[in-house]
Structure 1
Amino acid sequence: MNSASAEHHFALGTFTDGDGPPFAGLVRGDRVLPLTDDGALRGAATVRGLLEQWDAVWPRLDELAAGQDSGWADLASLRVLPPLEPRQIIQAGANYRAHLLEMATAKRVADGQGAQEARHAAEAEVEEFARGRPFLFIGLPSAMCGPHDDVLLPAGAQQPDWEVELAAVIGRPGRHITPEQAMDHIAGYTVCNDISARDWQFSPEHRALGGDWLRAKNQPTFLPTGPFLVPAPFLGDPYGLRLTMTLNGQVMQDETPQDMIFDIARLVSDASASTTLLPGDLILTGSPKGNGGQWNRYLRPGDVIEAAITGIGTQRNHCAPA
């Protein structure tokens, strides 16, 4: 979206001071300015509400970011919630080339193929997939939690997995958006971690039907989101951002979006072919290689996971039994 005229970099988020209700805030460094209806910011000052009038409120947000007046709070004194409440969450599966190759090879080896034969067949499978359409599925907002909240691991799930993802945040509504128009519909980006119970996702009873994506991916707290929404102009080229995921300090994922099979514009365009995209909707763009299957290690109570994207921020979540 055309908001590059702002001179003062800022991010947006949603916070609580522990006693009061959630509030939208403008973030600069380690300070947060609560946003209220002041005439320029019309209506309830939620982050989604700001996105619904994005072009109109942008100059005011820039002005506030430059201000040194009172009212700023220390970020460390606040609880950071998911930065916004989306109406829709649309997720891209298997959208990183090395990740898809990794999964396709592992599946063929598990089915009895030799390693080299499985690798060659998987490479052909990836190239065929790249000539088609993105694989998109629906996530539930009820699965979201804050960037520092506990991730609750349900009893019975033996393979809870991680997936750091760059999430595009829609700012301008649209239907049947072309790839050439798509980037103008993105207000900014945030960080998501798509926690997935693999043994539930592809359980034998549902494998023939494509798996159980509801149960596997939409448990409460299975989508840590945030810490902030960073407007797109402040990030520059999104394909140069670095995505990392650590487990108890060990790096498990480390990649840039340059490895995407379908770029961000294509994902937005294809999503809009199926539904009307609305301000605040999240488009999760896929996760790079380095999931639990590669490491033969899945999440357990007591683990600490950190998902980070340069320029946006870091999540730090403890894993606990549900």
Structure 2
Amino acid sequence: MKLASLKEGGRDGTLIVVDRAVKRAVRAAGVAPTLQTALEDWPAAAPRLRALAGELEEGKAAGAFDLDTRALAAPLPRAYQWADGSAYVVHVELVRRARGVEMPPSFWTDPLMYQGGSDSFIGPNDDIEAVDEAHGIDFEGEIGVIVDDVPMGITPEAARGHIRLVTILNDVSLRNVIVGELAKGFGFFHGKPATAFAPVAVTPDELGKAWDGARLDRPLISTLNGKEFGHPNAATDLTFDFGQLIAHAATTRHLEAGTVVGSGTVANRDAGVGCSCIAERRVRETIEGGKPVTPFMSFGDRIRIEMLDDDGRSIFGAIDQKVVRYAPPR
């Protein structure tokens, strides 16, 4: 089944069930008011949501309506925790190579992960608000999973069983801000503004053979200003699967239901498939030609991120955003 949240009913939105075509939907208030509520009581909520999804597909759901993705918040408009990994180590390797910095061997065995801001995710068609183009505005196409309660110290194998929903996301990054923050030796903050999510999050069974329990074997397509930027496969060159990432996040803490775990920028070693962020293309340009050529995003630029099934149908719906200038209050 496919789940989403309308921008109504408060900061956590209103839970809806969406059809497989991402064209029709029905409110799920009779089951749970919000997705967070459903995740906290998943064994009871999931069967009822599935029944509602069945009614929707059969055209029998009372109150069903045509879906406008502009009315959607992120599936989880806010979450208790957002832990983003860097599961494609080839991406990290390229970045460090361009800087002339050797990569520690531990990066291949111990996942990188940061804790991002989860108090306000944004919807699939919400603008990317930026103060200054000089900040180096970039998109990052990623895969994300949403879990139920995960106990501390769990194994990667057991962690797979806690994945309740899968989605895609745009982890917006301000590259020129990040450089200064990392130089302080204390991690990201200002360089990572609000993350955008696809219209829907789906249960793993919706993914069929493309999902092996911990990785998603489909290309992630990024289109910048109407021109394809990249289509790397999300399973190819994946160093750490979601079982490993979840277990890593739960090494010293319990993860509460509704925690979102990200894959980091989807990247393949094969340069022919393109990239899921501008920074990686700039790195490849530097390695090949001595300097970057592709600029970061400007006001008015539009990014679209989407994943299609074998029949060319959108699995999660599309993230489709425009970069706009934000004017701070005076």
Question: Shorter-chain-normalised TM-score: which range?
Answer: 0.7 to 0.9
**Could you say which residue in structure 2 is the equivalent of 1:267?**
245
**Could you say which residue in structure 2 is the equivalent of 1:241?**
218
- More displaced 10-residue stretch of structure 1: 15-24 or 265-274: 15-24
Determine if contact 2:167/2:200 at 8 Å carries over to the other structure: yes
Aligned AA for 2:254?
Answer: T
Determine if contact 2:79/2:119 at 8 Å carries over to the other structure: no
3-state DSSP class of the match of 1:144? coil
**CA distance change for structure 1 residues 283 and 18 in 2, over 3 Å: closer, same or farther?**
closer
> Is residue 255 from structure 1 mapped to residue 232 from structure 2 by the alignment?
yes
Aligned AA for 1:31?
Answer: R
Report how far residue 171 of structure 1 moved.
2.2
Determine if contact 1:17/1:77 at 8 Å carries over to the other structure: no
Aligned AA for 2:317?
Answer: G
Alignment of structure 1 residues 165-204 onto 2, 5 Å: 165-203=142-180
3-state DSSP class of the match of 2:264? coil
Q: Distance in 2 between matches of 1:279 and 1:19?
A: 20
Cα displacement string for residues 27-83 of structure 1 (whole angstroms, at most 9, x for unaligned residues): 01311110113xxx3xx5201111111122222112111220321011028601111
Q: 1:151 aligns with which of 120, 128, 133?
A: 128
**CA distance change for structure 1 residues 126 and 251 in 2, over 3 Å: closer, same or farther?**
farther
Determine if contact 1:227/1:314 at 8 Å carries over to the other structure: yes
Size of the alignment, in residue pairs? 287
**CA distance change for structure 1 residues 279 and 77 in 2, over 3 Å: closer, same or farther?**
closer
Q: 1:51 aligns with which of 36, 39, 42?
A: 39
**Could you say which residue in structure 1 is the equivalent of 2:296?**
298
Q: 1:215 aligns with which of 176, 190, 214?
A: 190
Report how far residue 138 of structure 1 moved.
0.5
3-state DSSP class of the match of 2:320? strand
Q: Distance in 2 between matches of 1:69 and 1:261?
A: 42
**Could you say which residue in structure 2 is the equivalent of 1:276?**
254
> Is residue 79 from structure 1 mapped to residue 83 from structure 2 by the alignment?
no
Q: Distance in 2 between matches of 1:23 and 1:298?
A: 35
State TM-score, norm by structure 1.
0.82
3-state DSSP class of the match of 2:115? strand
Give me the CA root mean square deviation: 2.4
Report how far residue 175 of structure 1 moved.
1.7
Cα displacement string for residues 186-229 of structure 1 (whole angstroms, at most 9, x for unaligned residues): 101111111111111112xx444336510100x3xx31112111
Q: 1:307 aligns with which of 305, 308, 312?
A: 305
Cα displacement string for residues 158-180 of structure 1 (whole angstroms, at most 9, x for unaligned residues): 31111111001012432211111
**Could you say which residue in structure 1 is the equivalent of 2:29?**
36
3-state DSSP class of the match of 2:144? strand
Determine if contact 1:91/1:139 at 8 Å carries over to the other structure: yes
Aligned AA for 1:229?
Answer: A
The gaps in structure 2 that reach 5 residues or longer are: 268-274, 283-293, 309-314
Determine if contact 1:14/1:23 at 8 Å carries over to the other structure: yes
Aligned AA for 1:61?
Answer: L
3-state DSSP class of the match of 2:49? helix
Q: Distance in 1 between matches of 2:28 and 2:182?
A: 47
Report how far residue 17 of structure 1 moved.
6.8
**Percent identical across equivalent pairs?**
25
**CA distance change for structure 1 residues 20 and 298 in 2, over 3 Å: closer, same or farther?**
closer
Q: Distance in 2 between matches of 1:175 and 1:242?
A: 32
Q: Distance in 1 between matches of 2:12 and 2:81?
A: 23
Q: 1:316 aligns with which of 303, 320, 329?
A: 320
Cα displacement string for residues 238-271 of structure 1 (whole angstroms, at most 9, x for unaligned residues): 3312212221122223212222111111100010
Q: Distance in 2 between matches of 1:239 and 1:36?
A: 30
Alignment of structure 1 residues 98-117 onto 2, 5 Å: 98-108=90-100
**Could you say which residue in structure 2 is the equivalent of 1:140?**
117
State TM-score, norm by structure 2.
0.80
**Could you say which residue in structure 1 is the equivalent of 2:18?**
27
